């Protein structure tokens, strides 16, 4: 919908206030969308037809450690004889100290004037405080009100009980053993003030405390038993041909759906997930790690089966390889494409992307002979699946498809030659989690945690909460599946021993040795933000790690590890005093790298027309940014003794086999490089 024209009304700013902006009326977020109510006005839209569109003024008000954004709308009656009504105003908390946020949380007026505050606060609080600290501040607030009028204490206590009930229902994982001490304080307060027998939301507060304690001291859960017995030989990855594609897709969906339902959305917050690799943070975000582990297992199964190889150890040579001819590998490629298509029909986007990413990876993508034997129908389906996850416009196609899948039949299913599925499998959905991780990490990088005065930036938390709410909504949709486990397929999946990255590179090169006539590798396309090394980024969002070209220079018959992948960055805040070495050091530090090795890296500006400009150590980066590009590449300096890695060719982006005579030139590497550069951001 197009925005309404801007209309300004003079003299609508408050006394002593500063108008931050004036913009179109009826902001949907404030409740003034079409057909809705205006916050603070309480009149229906049909009543507003008797008034002109309302110009809007917005300003900030600071009060007791908090900053509130106030929105005022001044309506003009269409009838000039009707007196001018007073402005209709609403306000919501924008930032504040932690104590001020807790006061706002326990204020009985908040639920009516700032309707999303409690939900956003409870969903994101772990990004700026801990559960014990928050419970302690709630207890402090209640105890401080004991000397206040009884009605104020009663209202605040009722709100506190409501908050705790909502908190327990929505985020039970927050109440671990570390919260026991503060729960004791709250229970003691409720007993002393007589509220332990009173009625809160969902029952008496005594029952609430018991339920909280049951979370603090939980029974040890029964761990799922492995279907693979100890001592069993590893599963043959080529046995994928034994299973029906739709049966295998159902089992992948069953596993993915269980993990997605157990996902704790708050663990996806950029402030938590983005710091998972720091020392002492290995315990963070276990539900996200579990989802990514499953994604990588699926991708690893694809790579191992197409290569016909099983890992027997960690070394590059500790691999058992099954000899396969190109037509046999083509049948394996086709099988996995059918599995991905079936996952697509099941709306399991996680496994679809796992399979597609593995087929696009360098060890598989470069197998020209195998892809040349694949059928046109399979390549057509593969091309359509690749388009779903195109990085164009920030993965807009996959986002739009996911949004409409909840209600509409997918385009692929509409044009599929297969008969429509019966309703026996249910109608759930499993999204690709990496999209949400990327959005939340971008939000975390783009907005400061605190204002300049140290106040917590709660506007940032509201934006994060919008993403977490979408995850919650999809989790509810995910419950629609009706799938039963197949122990044979589950046992096969558990028995697979996927190859390491080095092993997959080596086996791929043994299967089809690198061609000497292949053209040089294209430069990685322009990045958007700072990322870690590619393989770590891929692992962090669930993309399989073996995506780097397998061709490496050799010295004395031994493989030489490739130069670590470059870091990519868009430099947003650089002063005129920052020279290249200090910028390099800062980027390394931000990505949890040792800034002491900054001298080993060079900063390169990516210019239009596929050009580069290496920034000298004595140059001020600030002045390089005053041009057509703010995109930079941070890479290790080349060593003269290291040969430039070659590149092999493979299937094209559309899924068609590469042309003869070297014309294919590995075209998917560009898109894969762009996926890598944007995977997390």
| pLDDT tens figures, 223-268 | 455 555 566 788 999 999 999 999 999 999 999 999 999 999 999 9
pLDDT tens-digit readout, 339-393: 999 999 999 999 999 999 999 999 999 999 999 999 999 999 999 999 888 777 7
| pLDDT score for 316 | 79
Q: pTM of the prediction? A: 0.68
| pLDDT score for 577 | 67
- What is the distance between the alpha carbons of residues 161 and 212, in angstroms, rounded to a whole number? 12
Residue 524 has pLDDT above 60, yes or no: no
Residue 287 has pLDDT above 80, yes or no: yes
Collapsed DSSP state (helix, strand, coil) of residue 546: coil
pLDDT tens-digit readout, 650-666: 444 444 444 333 333 33
Q: Are 410 and 347 in contact (CB under 8 A)?
A: yes
Look at strands 567-570 and 611-614 and give their pairing.
unpaired
| pLDDT score for 600 | 85
| pLDDT score for 625 | 60
Cα–Cα separations (whole angstroms), residue 266 to 164, 373, 478:
17, 46, 18
Q: What's the whole-number mean pLDDT along residues 189-213?
A: 64
| pLDDT score for 39 | 35
Per the prediction, the chain carries an average pLDDT of 74
| pLDDT score for 214 | 74
Q: Are 291 and 260 in contact (CB under 8 A)?
A: yes
Residue 216 has pLDDT above 80, yes or no: no
Residues 6+ apart with CB under 8 A from 363: 303, 307, 504, 505, 507, 508, 546, 550
pLDDT tens-digit readout, 30-41: 443 333 333 334
The least confident of 91-105, 341-355, 594-608 is 594-608
% of the chain exceeding 90 in pLDDT: 39
pLDDT category of residue 126 using cuts at 50, 70 and 90: very high
* CA nearest to 108, candidates 118, 122, 94: 118
Residue whose structure tokens are 């007791």:
64
DSSP for 391-460, written as a single string: -TTTTHHHHHHHHHHTTS--HHHHT-SSPPPPGGGB---B--HHHHHHHHHHHHHHS-SB-TTS-EEHHH
- What is the distance between the alpha carbons of residues 235 and 232, in angstroms, rounded to a whole number? 9
Cα–Cα separations (whole angstroms), residue 256 to 28, 431, 636:
35, 9, 38
- In what helix (H) or strand (E) does residue 287 lie, and over which residues does it extend? helix 286-307
Q: Which residues of 614-626 are buried (b: 16+ CB within 10 A; e: fewer)?
A: ebeeeebbeebbe
Of residues 281 and 375, more confidence is placed in: 375
Question: Token pair for residue 382?
Answer: 């593969």
Residue 181 has pLDDT above 50, yes or no: yes
Residue 438 has pLDDT above 80, yes or no: yes
pLDDT tens-digit readout, 386-430: 988 877 777 777 888 888 776 654 444 444 444 434 445 668 999
Residue whose structure tokens are 């001291």:
217
- What is the distance between the alpha carbons of residues 245 and 524, in angstroms, rounded to a whole number? 35
Q: What's the whole-number mean pLDDT along residues 482-501?
A: 93
Q: What's the whole-number mean pLDDT along residues 174-181?
A: 85
Beta strand residue intervals within 438-544, DSSP E: 456-457
Please state, as a whole number, how many other Cβ atoms lie within 10 Å of the Cβ of residue 422: 6
Residue 314 has pLDDT above 90, yes or no: no
- What is the distance between the alpha carbons of residues 525 and 670, in angstroms, rounded to a whole number? 7
- What is the distance between the alpha carbons of residues 159 and 314, in angstroms, rounded to a whole number? 56
Q: What angle in degrees, to the nearest 10, is found between the helix axes of 396-405 and 433-446?
A: 120
The least confident of 77-81, 318-322, 438-442, 533-537 is 533-537
Please state, as a whole number, how many other Cβ atoms lie within 10 Å of the Cβ of residue 245: 19
Half-sphere exposure for 410 (CA within 13 Å, toward CB):
28
Return the DSSP state at 7.
Answer: -
- What is the distance between the alpha carbons of residues 36 and 469, in angstroms, rounded to a whole number? 21
């Amino acid at each position: 919908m197009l925005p309404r024209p801007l209309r300004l009304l003079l003299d609508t700013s408050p006394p002593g206030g500063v108008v931050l902006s004036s913009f179109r009326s009826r902001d949907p977020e404030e409740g003034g969308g079409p057909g809705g109510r205006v916050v603070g006005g309480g009149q229906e839209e049909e009543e507003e037809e008797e008034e002109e569109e309302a110009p809007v003024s917005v300003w900030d008000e600071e009060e007791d450690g908090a900053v509130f954004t106030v929105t005022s709308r001044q309506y003009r009656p269409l009838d000039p004889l009707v007196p001018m009504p007073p402005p209709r105003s609403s306000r919501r908390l924008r930032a504040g100290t932690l104590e001020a946020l807790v006061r706002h949380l326990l204020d009985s007026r908040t639920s009516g004037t700032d309707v999303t505050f409690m939900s956003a606060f409870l969903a994101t609080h772990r990004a700026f405080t801990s559960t014990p600290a928050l419970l302690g501040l709630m207890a402090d607030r209640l105890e401080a009100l004991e000397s206040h009028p009884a009605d104020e204490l009663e209202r605040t206590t009722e709100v506190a009980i409501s908050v705790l009930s909502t908190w327990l229902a929505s985020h039970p994982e927050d109440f671990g053993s570390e919260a026991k001490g503060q729960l004791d304080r709250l229970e003691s307060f409720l007993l002393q003030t007589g509220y332990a027998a009173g009625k809160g939301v969902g029952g008496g507060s005594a029952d609430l405390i018991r339920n909280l304690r049951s979370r603090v001291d939980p029974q040890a859960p029964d761990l799922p038993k492995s279907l693979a017995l100890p001592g069993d030989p590893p599963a043959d990855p080529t046995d994928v041909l034994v299973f029906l594609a739709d049966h295998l897709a159902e089992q992948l969906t069953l596993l993915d759906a269980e993990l997605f339902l157990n996902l704790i959305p708050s663990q996806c917050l950029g402030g938590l997930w983005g710091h998972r690799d720091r020392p002492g943070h290995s315990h963070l975000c276990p539900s996200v790690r579990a989802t990514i582990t499953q994604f990588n297992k699926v991708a690893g199964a694809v790579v191992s089966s197409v290569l016909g190889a099983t890992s027997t150890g960690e070394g590059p040579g500790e691999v058992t390889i099954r000899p396969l001819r190109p037509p046999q590998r083509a049948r394996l490629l086709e099988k996995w494409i059918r599995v991905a298509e079936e996952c697509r029909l099941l709306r399991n986007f996680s496994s679809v992307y796992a399979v597609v990413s593995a087929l696009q990876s360098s060890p598989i993508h470069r197998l020209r002979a195998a892809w040349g034997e694949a059928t046109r129908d399979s390549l057509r389906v593969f091309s359509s699946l690749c388009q779903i996850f195109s990085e164009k416009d920030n993965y807009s196609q996959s986002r739009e498809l996911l949004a409409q899948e909840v209600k509409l039949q997918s385009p692929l299913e509409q044009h599929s030659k297969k008969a429509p599925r019966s309703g026996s499998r249910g109608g759930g959905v499993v999204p690709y989690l990496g999209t949400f991780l990327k959005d939340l990490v971008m939000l975390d990088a783009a907005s400061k945690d605190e204002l300049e005065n140290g106040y917590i930036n709660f506007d940032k938390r509201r934006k994060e909460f919008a993403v977490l709410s979408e995850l919650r909504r999809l989790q509810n949709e995910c419950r629609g599946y009706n799938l039963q486990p197949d122990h044979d397929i589950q046992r096969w999946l558990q028995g697979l021993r996927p190859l390491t990255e080095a092993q997959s590179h080596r086996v791929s090169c043994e299967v089809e040795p690198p061609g000497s006539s292949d053209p040089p590798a294209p430069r990685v396309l322009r990045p958007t933000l700072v990322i870690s090394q590619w393989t770590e980024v891929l692992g962090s969002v669930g993309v399989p790690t073996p995506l780097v070209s397998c061709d490496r220079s050799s010295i004395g018959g031994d493989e030489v590890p490739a130069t670590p992948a470059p870091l990519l960055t868009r430099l947003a805040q650089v002063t005129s005093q920052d020279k290249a070495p200090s910028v390099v050091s800062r980027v390394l530090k931000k990505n949890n790298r040792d800034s002491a090795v900054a001298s080993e890296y060079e900063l390169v500006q990516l210019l239009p027309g596929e050009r580069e400009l290496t920034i000298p150590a004595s140059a001020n980066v600030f002045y390089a940014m005053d041009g057509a590009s703010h995109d930079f590449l941070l890479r290790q300096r080349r060593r003269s003794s290291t040969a430039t890695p070659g590149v092999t060719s493979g299937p094209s982006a559309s899924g068609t086999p590469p042309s003869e005579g070297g014309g294919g030139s590995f075209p998917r590497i560009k898109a894969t490089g762009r996926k890598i550069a944007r995977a997390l951001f």
